[in-house]
Amino acid sequence: MQEHGSDLMRIVFLTMAIVFELAIGTPALDAQVNPINYVFFGRDRDSIRTAAFLQKPFFAGAQITYPWRLLEPKQDQYDFSSIESDLEWLGNRGKKLFVQLQDVSFEESIVNVPNYLRTDSYGQGVNRQYSFANDNDDKAEPAGWVARRWDSRVAARYSKLLSALGALFDGRIAGLNMPETAVDFGSTGKYFPPGFSPSTYRDAIKSYMRAAKNAFSKSAVIQYANFMPGEWLPWDDKGYLRSVYEYGKAIGVGLGGPDLKVFKKAQMNHSYALLPGLSGIVPTGIAIQYGNYEELNPQTGKAVTIDDIYRFGRDLIKVNYLFWSIQEPYFSRDLIPYLEKNLKK
């Protein structure tokens, strides 16, 4: 449903953010600090060789998505050549690499876990997730595949992958981020996979965060945590998302998420309310992904501008990293001129 801006809406959203910050014991917010800008290429690795990216000093580097199945084509046989190649290419040109490790997809045709996991020994390794029209479990539509993160057998394999990555790349890459926590199996239990519950899922996310931190002590580690199954804030708050943020703060793992949607109500009630409380404590970052440039600003009712996006990320949710999508024409026509005008480097 289209949202229309108003001063009242802005006040409500800002109040929500303040309430959430107070609830988790947020320290006083730091002074404005310009975020570090990366270009989010997703799986389009070849595009890192474009001059528009390489010749712009205000882009610190590239964020690239590497599916688990690419990195471990066979059990215990790792192939990190894609990361090594990209890291060398970027490094030779003064750019850094941020690795997004992907174990989830949002398309039926894509499964991002290795084939060996898709056996009985690992509970088939993945489960289908769904979209539900009006949150109605009777109207389920397939919406991609997610690794069985809550399954200890799958989690052990993922942790081993993290250890292998850390042994080779810790301190060499700028950072590692793990994909978003949002998954949807409905609310009634009808579509819950074997062994899944919201609480076991929460514990699994924390376990992944700990494993990543153990593997990477020098490079930044960020867990994308936008929504958690089993709750919807602020009305149905089970503490799942809040506990993930508190855990990251405690162990030194950063938080963030996909999609910077300016003043979007759902995000304002969830991750956007919690991110400012981590400012200056752990690294935080958010991706401006495909479609985000086309969002409406609820305050104005008009299409968002790059200035809307940038200032929202810097001043309200106070992230350290902005990962900008290469979606055209917005990337070349709007983003690059804006950053050239407003940033010295």
Paired tokens of 247: 């855990």
Q: What is the pLDDT of residues 183-241, one digit of tens each?
A: 999 888 899 999 999 999 999 999 999 999 999 999 999 999 999 999 999 999 999 99
What does the mean pLDDT of the chain come to? 90
Q: Average pLDDT, stretch 249-276?
A: 97
Measured between alpha carbons, how far is residue 189 from residues 195, 199, 211, 271, 336 in Å? Answer: 11, 13, 29, 25, 46
**Superfamily (CATH H level) for 7-105+152-342:** Glycosidases (3.20.20.80)
Question: 3-class DSSP state for residue 121?
Answer: helix
The answer on pLDDT for 8 being more than 50 is no
pLDDT value for 138? 79
Count of Cβ atoms closer than 10 Å to residue 156 Cβ: 13
Task: List beta partners, residue 327.
Answer: none
Q: Average pLDDT, stretch 115-137?
A: 91
Whole-number Å distance between alpha carbons of 206 and 197? 14
pLDDT value for 5? 37
Q: What is the pLDDT of residues 44-64, one digit of tens each?
A: 999 999 888 999 999 999 999
Q: Could you tell me the pLDDT band of residue 10, with boundaries at 50, 70 and 90?
A: very low
Count of Cβ atoms closer than 10 Å to residue 24 Cβ: 15
The answer on pLDDT for 245 being more than 90 is yes
- Using an 8 Å Cβ cutoff, are 317 and 272 in contact? yes
- Which range, of 26-40, 55-69, 286-300, averages the lowest pLDDT? 26-40
Q: What is the pLDDT of residues 129-170, one digit of tens each?
A: 998 887 778 788 888 999 999 999 999 999 999 999 999 999
- Using an 8 Å Cβ cutoff, are 338 and 53 in contact? no
Q: Could you tell me the pLDDT band of residue 344, with boundaries at 50, 70 and 90?
A: low
Q: What is the pLDDT of residues 69-83, one digit of tens each?
A: 999 999 999 999 999
Per DSSP, which regions of 133-274 are E strands?
140-147, 175-178, 220-224, 254-258
pLDDT value for 32? 55
Q: Could you tell me the pLDDT band of residue 31, with boundaries at 50, 70 and 90?
A: very low
Domain range summary for the chain, segments of one domain joined by + = 7-105+152-342
